[in-house]
Amino acid sequence: MKRKLTTALLTLTVMSAPAWATTHHPGQHDAGAPAQNQPAAEGAISVGEVRKIDKEAGKITLKHGELKNLQMPPMTMVFRVKDPAMLEQVKVGDKVNFVAEKVGGQFTVARIEPKQ
Return residues touching Cu ion (CB under 5 A): 72, 75, 77
- Closest-by-Cβ residue to Cu ion is 77
Q: Are 49 and 63 in contact (CB under 8 A)?
A: yes
Q: Which residues are CB-contacts of 12 (< 8 A; sequence separation ≥ 6)?
A: none
Q: How far is the CB of 34 from Cu ion (least distance, A)?
A: 29
Nearer to Cu ion, 47 or 77 (CB): 77
Q: How far is the CB of 72 from Cu ion (least distance, A)?
A: 4
Q: How far is the CB of 23 from Cu ion (least distance, A)?
A: 25
Q: How far is the CB of 55 from Cu ion (least distance, A)?
A: 21
Q: What is the DSSP string of 41-82?
A: GT--EEEEEEEEEETTTTEEEEEE--BGGGTB-SEEEEEEES
Nearer to Cu ion, 47 or 72 (CB): 72
Compute the chain's Rg from CA coordinates: 16
Nearer to Cu ion, 8 or 75 (CB): 75
